[in-house]
Structure 1
């Protein structure tokens, strides 16, 4: 699974976008430029219903297969004066796995045969978790977020390329909200999931979309 997780966190990881200065960043679809000077420092929590991590992996080299994880919970501590002081800590439940094939979902969450380790996550997998260790601003609305991804009982380094995707007041909850997109790639074998490598790709691409609401 070319990026079987996290997110995670991602998920959380997208949260380190630059929030300083007025930006003339015009988006597709005709949106107005974002004035990031309006973003407030403070602690934000994920909007679990609108935070997703897509994973994508090569299937026998013929085509890609992809699925989703959701219901992420965590926090973004945002320092708009100095993004290096910002941080992200996000958990992503493996049980939220969504794929079109019910047979594949069962395989990814089933126990190993005859007491062996599961091929993928197994039935009682702990949440994936991403905890940032540094945030490096790379542009007016972009940053690299480096941290530790804990997945399948193992922890390793991950860097997420994050970009601010939206900001303002949620029209339903009236909460001040910032949204981010993030991307990264991991090797699933480094997190103990080497089933069918290399026929099924080792590299897993993660595409993260996350909304944080100010506490």
Structure 2
């Protein structure tokens, strides 16, 4: 009898945390039925743009833009009519190298000269959508990207990541998230320093989170 009791207690000790773990679920899921129509604001703490360039043909190099703001208007019954307007603070660019980050934002050496990259007081970049073509849970979102004072059309390959409502202790608001990728040429935006030793092509990988207003 004692052996059976010990075995039962051991089984319960193992099963209880497993049951509790199974009962817990993330508030968001990749379920289009969870998308609520309306206007959303970008979550600056969870909206990120990672950029990647080729360095000398030896290795890729990565950097990051954060603190992104903007808006999304979406209706799951008509996703092709969605509108997105995003602002990226170029001045907050970051890399793993303090020296490189400083170089990206360094003033030109000559008075009145052109900075190597963005300069010490770069204007915010901005992407404003102009067209959305939907295919299942993916879409091609075309828009105007303004960077370094130059506007060019850019198309993003966008994938729906998840939607749902946060717990009440986290605000209890509807959220939606996407992933997106594209490649731009920095020379199109007047950033030509180091080409081709540092690639003209810049790969962008975007995580975009939005909270309903």
Identify the TM-score tier after normalising by the shorter chain: 0.7 to 0.9
**Cα drift, residue 102 of structure 1:** 0.7
**5+ unaligned residues in a row in structure 2: which ranges?**
1-25
Larger Rg: 2
In structure 2, distance between residues paired with 1:164 and 1:131: 18
RMSD (CA atoms): 1.6
In structure 2, distance between residues paired with 1:96 and 1:131: 20
Identify the residue that residue 111 of structure 1 maps to in structure 2: 107
| 38-47 or 52-61: bigger deviation | 38-47
Identify the residue that residue 117 of structure 2 maps to in structure 1: 120
Identify the residue that residue 131 of structure 2 maps to in structure 1: 134
**Cα drift, residue 170 of structure 1:** 1.9
Identify the residue that residue 72 of structure 2 maps to in structure 1: 76
In structure 2, distance between residues paired with 1:33 and 1:107: 40
In structure 2, distance between residues paired with 1:41 and 1:169: 13
In structure 2, distance between residues paired with 1:173 and 1:156: 37
**Cα drift, residue 194 of structure 1:** 0.7
In structure 2, distance between residues paired with 1:211 and 1:84: 19
Identify the residue that residue 151 of structure 1 maps to in structure 2: 147
In structure 2, distance between residues paired with 1:68 and 1:170: 26
Identify the residue that residue 90 of structure 1 maps to in structure 2: 86
Whichever structure has more helix as a proportion of its residues is 2
In structure 2, distance between residues paired with 1:34 and 1:182: 15
**Cα drift, residue 34 of structure 1:** 3.5
Structure 2 CA distance for partners of 1:186 and 1:53, relative to 1, 3 Å: same
Q: Deviations over 1:187-214 (max 9, x none)?
A: 0000000111011100000000011000
Identify the residue that residue 12 of structure 2 maps to in structure 1: none
Q: Deviations over 1:63-110 (max 9, x none)?
A: 000010001100001021112211100001012211111110111001
Identify the residue that residue 46 of structure 1 maps to in structure 2: 42
- Structure number with higher relative contact order (C-alpha < 8 Å, ≥ 6 residues apart): 1
Q: SS of 2:99's equivalent?
A: helix
Identify the residue that residue 57 of structure 2 maps to in structure 1: 61
- Counterpart of 2:189 (choices 188, 191, 205) is 191
Identify the residue that residue 9 of structure 2 maps to in structure 1: none
In structure 1, distance between residues paired with 2:129 and 2:68: 15
**5+ unaligned residues in a row in structure 1: which ranges?**
1-30
TM-score norm. by structure 2 comes to 0.83
Identify the residue that residue 201 of structure 2 maps to in structure 1: 203
How many aligned residue pairs are there?
A: 185
Structure 2 CA distance for partners of 1:95 and 1:197, relative to 1, 3 Å: same
Q: Which runs of 4+ in 1 moved over 6 A?
A: none
TM-score norm. by structure 1 comes to 0.83
